[in-house]
Each structure stands twice: as C-alpha cells, then as structure tokens.
C-alpha cells in the first residue's frame, strides 16, 4: 500500500489551480480532428431521422440511434439547446473511459419564430434539426500539430482526464453559426455548407484560419462555469451528490422538459470532475466516474452491457428526459429528480435524491450549516428566509442525541460556548476570497475555481484522515478492520451524529482498502466536548 503521508498523496489545495488553470485560458488554436458530422431532424410524420452525415475515411463510428441521442425526448419544447453524448467504439473489447467517442449537437427549431407572426402555425413549415459532430479524444494526443500546447499540458491532462470528455465542445460555436446560416438560406436539401466545414476540420492538419470564421461573435460558457449555478440551485443537496461521486456510484439525473440539456450535461460533467480531483493511479478506476451526458431508452441495452463487462468498476453519471429510465433501477445507484419549472427563480418544488431502493437521501444538519457558510464565504450571499425554509426540507432532522446536547450547552453556558461539532462548522472561507489566481481576468471564473477548490480540499481532508485510520489499523493486531470514533468524523468534516455519514465512511473504506469498519461509540464524548 502506498504511503499517504508523502506530499504527492497529501495534495495541497493550491495544486487544483495548476490542474485546471488551462480551463480559464483561451482555447488552443488546435482542435481534435472531426471523425463525423451529421444532421438529424424531427419530422412530423417520420419522427427522428438522420438526414445527412459524413465520416472520415478511417472512421468506424456506428451512427445507429444517433437521431435519438441528438434529438432526445422533450427537446422540441425549446427553441434551441445543446446536447452532449457518447458513442461506444465498436472495436473495443476492454471497456474503459477511452472506449468512447464523444459528441455534441446543436439543436434549433423555427416554431417559436413562426408563432410570433401568426396565430395559426402551419406544421409543414416547422423545422427541427440538430447539427452534431463526433470526435475520438485519442486523436488529440497524436501529435503537436493538432494541439501545440499538448506537451506542456501533458501532465495536467494525464492527472485530470475530464478535459477529454468535452473536447468536442470546441466546435460548438461553429455548429451554432452553421445551423443558423443554413436556416437563413432556407434550402433544406443543400448540405454543402456542412460538407465544406467537415472537410476543413477532419484532417490531421486543421485549417484553423478557415474554421475559426465560424466562431465569431459567439460567447458560450465552459461547462464547468455552470457548476456554481448548481451549487446554489441544489442547496445542501450538493453534499450527498459529492459523497455519491466520491463513492463512484452510478448517478442518473432525471430532467423535466423545461430544463435544458446543456445545463444538465454540465452538472454531469461537474460531478465527474469532483470525483477526479485527487486521482490516484494505485486505485485504478475505483475513484472516478465518467460522464455519459445524455442517455435515453435506446441506451438501456448498452448500459446493461457496460455494467457486465466492467464488473461495476466503470461507473457513470448521466442525464435523461425519459422518465421510464427511473424504473430501470438496475442502471443506477442513486437518482437526482429535478422538478418541473426547476430553473425558474419562483419554483417552489424541490429536487429529490433517491437510491435505487426508493429511499430519499437528504443532507445532514452539519452539511446544512456548512452550506450556509459556503454560500456566504464564496458567493458573498446569505440564505434568504425562503431558501432556509426550502433547504431545511432537503435536510435530515437533528437527532435526539444532538438535540439534547445542544440544549445542555445552551443551558449550562447560556449560549456563550458551543459544542466542538458546532465549532468545526466554522470553516475559514477567507482563503477563498483572498486567494489570488494568476492570469484570471474573469471574477466569475475565480468563483468557479473557488468552488472546485473547496470540494477538492474537502475531498483531500477526507482521504487523508481515512488513510491515517488505515495506517493505525495496519499497526494493530486486527488488520482486517478499522476502528472509527465519532470524533474521527469531525476531523473528516462530516456529521458525527449521522448514520448516513458513518455508512459513507464505511463504504469508502471497503471500496478503497477492502477493510471492514467498527464504530467505537464509547468515545462519543470527544465529539461533543
């Protein structure tokens, strides 16, 4: 077993900036060559169909079902959207995160524009299309001609593989402009504009001078820039999601029709990123999940095969608008259900985080207090009364034991002294507001890095404290199990009264070190004094 006391394992949170600094820089001039481009349509009579496609000479991508990936259920309700997805490589026997090609499609329809000018819509004039591309991320590292910065960023990309999942998004601005121009011309049988673009971007030497013409005047957020939105929107429920990511569980996000795919895919990507913040090669595939982005009923057979072929070692996070997927409990460990109208600021309905056994998972009281401090320390915001009322419904009730202890401290000290578990909540968030990021001109992106840095530090703190317990167990007579006291949970920034957090640590120890765990309840006084 590796020694977790060395600097490599006890990562400083400042290393996070080195790992993802490239996200804040301007995009590299080189892009991964296109393997495929396609145009799919929702036809009023035929349903979803592939209208046109082109592939590179050496491409073996199977486009079967791509019309459903690029036009998922419910997308016809919006004027435009962005859909990320994966395509399995047909020739890969050993399934890993390198066994997929990644794609993105830009969807657009003219129904809303027609409705503005007439009371009665002629359905024959309504056009719904998705223009998409597919890339093989492995092409990214085949030469410096593709990516001039690949050598200097090689160590970064090796440590943080999340970048491979969204390299296709480098073409997203171009897809948006191309589809808009095609709609404007109105000749829906002429695909030459797409063909020319593919020819420019599918070779080993991409003509960036030509392809960049299709990127002007479009400013789109990087996927990770949506993460602060989700932290604020989900409230303290972000912590159970964090724990699920660290446990390498399969997470399914059920989105309502009115919630766009772009933001839901960004949440999937962010959760995957969280699970990789302290990547350790010695743990192999046990400590990260991959984003499958948008999935649907057509992916059920493949997901079942994925589970079987990888023996549960390669898990994922994905989103879907097909409600029937929620009944396929063998395909996920936990499910985040977003309510209708969730993106609206006036939405009073709350999300639910549910296990595949139907048990709702809520934040612990400790996590509720942490969230309050996080919002104030990083976002410089305070919870409103309405938010407090809503988020309290996403939080477990205080245990009777904690209720009694809090009452005793209030009575004995007249409220001047708090129990140690209360003091532990007061994280010094000043390090996030005062930290200076080099070459960061965008304050909003600094907030993104601060949020990631917080979860990075939280994860490393958890990891280091568990490794200390493991080292102690290895020095004892009973090396098959680890003894955990409630006070140890405080050191991990967890809830010392929570059965949920005890189970969480137990599962981590089983997954990472294949050891059992015993709880020493006799040391509860250390946690409350």
Q: Is 316 exposed, middle or buried (0-12, 13-18, 19+ CB in 10 A)?
A: buried
- pLDDT at 23 > cutoff 70: no
156-165: per-residue pLDDT in tens? 444 445 677 8
Q: What gap in Å lies between CA 321 and CA 302, rounded to an integer? A: 18
Q: For residue 169, is it within any domain?
A: yes
- Residues 242-296 pLDDT 10s: 999 999 999 999 999 888 999 999 999 999 988 876 555 444 445 578 999 999 9
Sheet holding 100-109, edge to edge: 47-55, 34-43, 128-135, 100-109, 80-88
Answer yes or no: are the C-beta atoms of 24 and 439 closer than 8 Å: yes
Number of domains in the chain: 1
The answer to whether position 340 is within a domain reads no
Average pLDDT across the chain, whole number: 80
Of 164, 132, 114, give the one whose Cα is nearest residue 35.
132
Q: Tens of pLDDT along 178-210? A: 999 999 998 999 999 999 999 999 875 555 554
Whether the Cβ atoms of residue 198 and residue 157 lie closer than 8 Å to each other: no
Q: Does some domain include residue 397? A: no
Query: CA-based Rg of the chain, rounded to a whole angstrom?
Result: 25
Domain that holds residue 43: 31-220
Let me know if residue 160 belongs to a domain.
yes
β-strand partners of 131: 39, 106
Region 135-157: mean pLDDT is 50
Q: What is the pLDDT of residues 208-246, one digit of tens each?
A: 554 555 555 556 788 989 999 999 999 999 999 999 999
Q: Read off the pLDDT band of 143 (50, 70, 90).
A: very low
SS3 sequence of 284-299: HHHHCEEEEEECCHHH
Q: Give the separation between CA 189 and CA 518, rounded to whole angstroms.
A: 68
- Per-position b or e across 486-508, b if 16+ CB within 10 A of its CB: bbbbbbbbbbbbbebbbebbbbb
Q: Is residue 394 in a domain?
A: no
Report the 10 Å Cβ neighbour count for 231: 24
Residue 151 lies in a domain: yes
User: Is the residue at 68 inside a domain?
Assistant: yes
Is residue 214 one of the residues assigned to a domain?
yes
**421 vs 504, more confident:** 504
Handedness of CA 306, 307, 309, 312 (dihedral sign): positive
């Amino acid at each position: 077993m590796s020694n977790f006391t060395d600097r490599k394992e006890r990562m400083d949170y400042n290393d996070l900036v080195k790992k993802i600094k490239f996200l804040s820089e301007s995009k590299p001039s080189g892009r991964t060559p296109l393997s495929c481009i396609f145009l799919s349509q929702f036809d009023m009579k035929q349903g979803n169909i592939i209208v046109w496609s082109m592939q590179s000479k050496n491409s073996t991508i199977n486009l079967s079902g791509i019309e459903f990936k690029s036009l998922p259920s419910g997308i016809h309700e919006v004027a435009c959207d962005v859909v990320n997805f994966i395509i399995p490589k047909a020739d890969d026997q050993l399934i890993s995160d390198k066994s997929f090609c990644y794609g993105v499609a830009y969807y657009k329809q003219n129904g809303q524009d027609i409705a503005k000018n007439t009371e009665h819509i002629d359905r024959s004039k309504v056009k719904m299309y998705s223009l998409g591309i597919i890339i093989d991320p492995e092409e990214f590292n085949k030469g410096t001609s593709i990516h001039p910065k690949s050598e200097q960023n090689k160590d970064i990309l090796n440590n943080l593989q999340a970048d491979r999942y969204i390299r296709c998004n480098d073409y997203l601005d171009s897809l948006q402009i191309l589809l808009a121009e095609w709609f404007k011309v109105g000749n829906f049988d002429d695909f030459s504009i797409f063909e020319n673009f593919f020819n420019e971007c599918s070779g080993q030497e991409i003509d960036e001078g030509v392809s960049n013409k299709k990127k002007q005047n479009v400013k789109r957020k990087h996927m990770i820039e949506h993460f602060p939105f989700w932290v604020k929107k989900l409230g303290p429920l972000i912590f159970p999601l964090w724990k699920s990511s660290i446990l390498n569980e399969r997470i399914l996000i059920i989105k309502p029709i009115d919630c766009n795919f772009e933001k839901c895919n960004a949440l999937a990507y962010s959760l995957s990123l969280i699970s990789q913040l302290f990547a350790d090669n010695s743990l192999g595939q046990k400590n990260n999940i991959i984003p499958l982005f948008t999935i649907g009923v057509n992916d059920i057979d493949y997901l079942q095969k994925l589970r079987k072929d990888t023996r549960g070692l390669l898990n994922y996070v994905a989103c879907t608008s097909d409600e029937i997927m929620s009944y396929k409990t063998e395909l996920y460990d936990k499910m985040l259900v977003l309510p209708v109208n969730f993106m609206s600021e006036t939405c009073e309905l709350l999300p639910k985080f549910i296990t595949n056994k139907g048990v709702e998972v809520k934040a612990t009281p400790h996590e509720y207090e942490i969230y309050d401090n996080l919002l104030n320390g990083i976002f410089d915001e305070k919870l409103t009364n309405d938010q407090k009322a809503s988020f309290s419904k996403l939080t477990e009730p205080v245990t009777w034991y904690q209720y009694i202890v809090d009452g005793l401290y209030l009575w004995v000290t007249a409220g001047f002294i708090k129990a140690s578990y209360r003091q532990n909540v007061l994280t010094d968030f000043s390090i996030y507001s005062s930290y200076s990021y080099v070459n960061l001109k965008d304050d909003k992106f600094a907030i993104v890095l601060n949020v990631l840095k917080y979860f990075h530090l939280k994860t490393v703190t958890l990891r280091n404290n568990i490794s200390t317990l493991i080292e102690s167990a290895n020095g004892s007579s009973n090396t098959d199990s680890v003894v955990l006291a409630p006070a140890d949970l405080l050191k991990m920034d967890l809830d010392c009264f929570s059965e949920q957090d005890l189970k969480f640590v137990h599962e981590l120890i089983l997954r990472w070190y294949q050891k059992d765990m015993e709880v020493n309840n006799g040391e509860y006084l250390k946690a409350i004094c």
